[in-house]
Amino acid sequence: MNQQALFYETIFDAIGADITAIGGFKAAAAKLWPAESPITSSAKLRNAINPEQPHKLCPDEVLQIKRLAKAVGSCAIVSYESKELGFDIAWIEPEDEMERVQKRHVELMEQLAKEMRRANELMAQSSRLKSVK
């Protein structure tokens, strides 16, 4: 994991730290806007995190930066947000998430089997009633 600052003064500082971790403005901008030229897109990204510039990133673009940063072990934006909003962060290890998903899968399959048995019972009852008439 990359060395993180203890705190960031602004959200723009935190976004900049995650962009640096991704590989810099050109690398991050190329992933955000692959159809644009690298020079244009990196300038666009620099301006988007400049508090004095009018155009900012949309929420989807910020989320994409968070995902890209997470992939390289950085979490500056998320850390900044958690401190600003008074949240504790609980990081989930992929193995723990896989275990949770597998457990939920088993529970859902058991529920489905139960529902199928009940449906079969109801169909059997219904056909017995029809044959009695």
Residue ranges of the chain with per-residue pLDDT less than 50: 1-2
pLDDT score recorded for residue 92: 83
pTM of the complete model beyond 0.75: no
What is the Cα 106 distance to its own chain's centre? 24
Hey, what are 132's tokens?
């009695």
Handedness of CA 24, 30, 36, 39 (dihedral sign): positive
pLDDT digits (tens, 9 = 90+) for 29-45: 999 999 999 999 999 99
C-alpha angle with apex 15: 56 to 76, nearest 5 degrees? 150
Report the alpha-carbon distance of residue 68 to residue 56 in Å, rounded.
18
pLDDT score recorded for residue 1: 45
Report the alpha-carbon distance of residue 108 to residue 85 in Å, rounded.
35
